[in-house]
Amino acid sequence: MDAFVVLVLGLSCLFLFLLWRQSSGMGKRGRLPPGPTPLPIIGNILQIDFKDMSKSLINLSKVYGPVFTVHLGMKPTVVVHGYKAVKEALEECGDEFSGRSVSPFIERSNKCGGIIFSNGKKWKEMRRFSLMTLRNFGMGKRSIEERIQEEAFCLVEELRRTNGSPCDPTFILGCAPCNVICSIVFQHRFDYKDQIFLKLMEKLNENFGVSNSPWMQIFRAFPSIMKHLPGNHKKVLKNFADINSYILEKIKEHQETLDINNPRDFIDCYLIKMEQEKHNQMSEFVIESLVASVNDLFVAGTETTSATLRHGLLLLLKHPEVTAKVQEEIESVIGRHRSPCMQDKSCMPYTDATVHEIQRFIDLIPNNVPRVATCDIRFRDYHIPKGTNLIASLTSLLHDSKEFPNPEKFDPGHFLDESGHLKKSDFFLPFSTGKRACVGEGLARMELFLFLTTILQNFKLKSLLDPEDIDIVPVASGFTRVPPLYQLCFIPV
Ligand code: LZ1
């Protein structure tokens, strides 16, 4: 027999074996929620549009209900859809679904020791430390609010330099959130022309672009073959390595100038924590985890906030009546002669509602950040084995048509009551919920409020198109949604 025949026979046997294993329930499929029948090896990937997975999952939920199973490649993934199922999975079963699955790719990028991809004790301690530090405990004299205000001031100066001529805001609105992270972790911000800063942003952007591509979403289903393929993900590893070596350099500088009684930033706080735990052999607070955590803060805190600002300004251009009301409120509560601060927010319900509505409407991270079961779980009447992936559809809450009538319409009224006060909603979970909810939520909300109010305090936004002609449909919906490119003029008021 020649090699070809052996190969074909071998593959056929493997195919039949996998088919039998899946259909007989031996593939741990036993009591998983219902779902479309998976093909061997590729699972249900033919039924999923990787250019907008959220839409495919919503369509599947119409057939299979609020809790169902899809196979992304060989891996079963439980999907929860709608308020009840999402709250049950993320809050009531918060501990059990608090894991992150770690692909060989993630392992090789030194990201397991940080916040986003860590598990178990490491995750608990890194999360606790980051939450505390980002809440301003121990960050020294300058509060996070002050750091954002400083950046907002510089952002406005930079926008002034456009002289009211048409510009694409992508670059500038990318610098500001990245610089806030720099200020928090490295103590200082950079000039927007600083070569080191530009390199850092370029590498972050490139990695974001690759990891958000539909191909990458497909590859995620086949982690073990990925490393044998040439291509972009190698570039991603190189970028991470470069960013990490820069972070390590900064950590060394910090170690040389550390004053235990005067922590300047996140890195100082961590070094102090390391010092306190130096006799603990089992301490999770090691340098590699600091590097990974700082890297995580950049990954999570740059493109997300930047895309929200970009998409937000685009929505404000499309809805000049909303912009006018926000600017009226800014004029009457803050005026022109001082910087907006977080205290103003409680006196600015319309602006607050508008920021909520921007986040609701754009639905930045439609499928949450995927979780994994840390143990065998009984969920409703199903048995979900340890290691099963979990996707919670945040779209299904943010665009719920009972909670937010006309969910596809941009309307700050979704967050206002009859007397014009802010109306909170339990469905508003753009940062997810439960034990693994976003560590940067407070930071992100502060940035969105301060950046948007500071911009609108200083400029009239002028569109190049009629509002009706402005296209607001995302150009990509992978892990996060990306708004279309556009231009506008910032006219000083
Ligand atoms: C995240 C983000 C991006 C990737 C992983 C986790 N949290 C943004 N916030």
pLDDT tens digits along 253-292: 999 999 999 999 999 999 999 999 999 999 999 999 999 9
Substitution site in 98, 102, 106, 116 for ligand 1 pocket (most atoms within 8 Å of beta carbon): 116
Mean pLDDT of all residues belonging to the chain: 92
Is 299 touching ligand 1 by the criterion CB < 6 Å?
yes
Is 443 touching ligand 1 by the criterion CB < 6 Å?
no
CA gyration radius for the chain? Answer: 24
Atom 5 (ligand 1) nearest CA: 300
Task: Tell me: pLDDT of 8 over 80.
Answer: no
* Residue 29, pLDDT score: 47
Least confident of 31-40, 204-213, 383-392: 204-213
Kindly give the pairing relationship between strand 382-384 and strand 377-379.
antiparallel
Task: Tell me: pLDDT of 235 over 50.
Answer: yes
How far apart are alpha carbons 254 and 270 in whole angstroms?
Answer: 11
Average pLDDT over residues 316-344: 97
pLDDT band at 140 (very low <50, low <70, confident <90, very high): confident
* Residue 21, pLDDT score: 54
* Residue 17, pLDDT score: 61
236: Cβ contacts below 8 Å, ≥ 6 apart: 109, 206, 207, 210, 211
pLDDT band at 442 (very low <50, low <70, confident <90, very high): very high
Task: Tell me: pLDDT of 26 over 90.
Answer: no
* Residue 385, pLDDT score: 95
Average pLDDT over residues 364-373: 96
pLDDT band at 214 (very low <50, low <70, confident <90, very high): confident
Q: What percent of the chain has pLDDT over 90?
A: 81
pLDDT tens readout for residues 160-199: 999 999 999 999 999 999 999 999 999 999 999 999 999 9
Judged on CB neighbours under 10 Å (0-12, 13-18, 19+), 28 is middle
Beta bridge partners of 378: 383
* Residue 19, pLDDT score: 56
Is 438 touching ligand 1 by the criterion CB < 6 Å?
yes
Instruction: Answer whether 370's CB lies under 8 Å from 390's CB.
Output: yes
pLDDT tens readout for residues 292-327: 999 999 999 999 999 999 999 999 999 999 999 999
pLDDT band at 103 (very low <50, low <70, confident <90, very high): confident
Substitution site in 308, 365, 441, 482 for ligand 1 pocket (most atoms within 8 Å of beta carbon): 365
Instruction: Tell me, in angstroms, the distance from the centre of ligand 1 to residue 315's CA.
Output: 23
Task: Tell me: pLDDT of 102 over 90.
Answer: no
Q: In what order do the strands lie in the sheet with 75-80?
A: 67-72, 75-80, 389-392, 371-372
pLDDT tens readout for residues 407-432: 999 999 999 999 999 999 999 999 99
* Residue 16, pLDDT score: 62
Is 463 touching ligand 1 by the criterion CB < 6 Å?
no
Q: Closest ligand 1 atom to the C-alpha of 440?
A: 9
